[in-house]
A and B are shown apart, each in its own frame.
Chain A
């Protein structure tokens, strides 16, 4: 079975400071990893994904994430946070096997609050 853990319910950071939202995963094989963001009363928006290749993945709005196989982590990062980044962030994983369907398993979400 595949699973995702987001250990922090909330992360607070000052505008202009770097931010990190943590994610660890568990799958049997190679993972496909995704980050999504949800603004209030909106659906989820795709930020970035890791499938294979370079461990550092760059995505939308200046976000990036680093895949670390030995630590089974895929932390989301941004060098300089903006107040507008305040939202709910979800990490998701899928086991990268063909024919296995495309069911994503999501973490419980981390509320990011960026303050002036």
Chain B
């Protein structure tokens, strides 16, 4: 079956512009996660969606970052007024269910964001 897909694979933008990153999770997975991977920072948790529950936004670095998940499936991560420090690879993952914590997460290939 299809894995987690993300688009675009690469995004180059100018400082101050808004960007939208998309994630299509594995069908049937109720939990969806966004992480950021950057040099020197490792993998950082950004946000977690579980079913219809309120998302865990505790990892979002600033109010310029937001995410939504429509219909319990596709998710969009939006970064407003991008800054150079936002340059990173943004990874999306999904899992069968989030509440037990036992299920492994399946990762997409990532979106490499470069802010000039």
Give the chain B neighbours of A44 by CB distance below 8 A. Answer: 91, 93, 107
Interface residue ranges of B58-116 to A (CB < 8 Å): 58-59, 91, 93, 95, 98-110
The answer to whether B108 and A104 have CB atoms under 8 Å apart is no
CA distance A36 to B43 in the complex (A): 12
Q: Which of A36, A97, A102 contacts B48 (CB 8 A)?
A: A102
Give the chain B neighbours of A49 by CB distance below 8 A. Answer: 102, 104
Q: Is the interface of A mostly helix, strand, loop or mixed?
A: loop
Closest-CB distance, B58 to chain A (whole angstroms): 8
Closest to A100 in B: B101
Give chain A's interface residue range (CB within 8 Å of chain B): 20 to 34
B-facing mask of A9-49, CB < 8 A → 1, else 0?
00000000000000000000000101010000111111001
CA distance A109 to B100 in the complex (A): 25
Would you call A98 an interface residue if the criterion is a C-beta within 8 Å of the partner chain's C-beta atoms?
A: yes
What's the tally of chain B residues with a CB closer than 8 Å to chain A? 28
CA distance A28 to B100 in the complex (A): 16
Closest to A51 in B: B102
The answer to whether A103 and B56 have CB atoms under 8 Å apart is yes
Closest-CB distance, A54 to chain B (whole angstroms): 15
CA distance A9 to B49 in the complex (A): 32
Would you call B26 an interface residue if the criterion is a C-beta within 8 Å of the partner chain's C-beta atoms?
A: no
The answer to whether A43 and B43 have CB atoms under 8 Å apart is no
Would you call A108 an interface residue if the criterion is a C-beta within 8 Å of the partner chain's C-beta atoms?
A: yes
Q: Which of A102, A108, A109 contacts B101 (CB 8 A)?
A: A102
Would you call A105 an interface residue if the criterion is a C-beta within 8 Å of the partner chain's C-beta atoms?
A: yes
Give the chain A neighbours of B99 by CB distance below 8 A. Answer: 98-99, 101-102
Give the chain A neighbours of B58 by CB distance below 8 A. Answer: 103
Give the chain A neighbours of B31 by CB distance below 8 A. Answer: 102
B-facing mask of A83-96, CB < 8 A → 1, else 0?
00000001000111
CA distance A106 to B95 in the complex (A): 16
* Interface pairs (24), CB distance under 8 Å: A32-B102, A43-B4, A43-B108, A44-B91, A44-B107, A46-B104, A49-B102, A49-B104, A95-B101, A98-B100, A99-B99, A100-B101, A102-B33, A102-B48, A102-B95, A102-B100, A102-B101, A102-B103, A102-B105, A103-B45, A104-B33, A104-B105, A105-B45, A106-B43
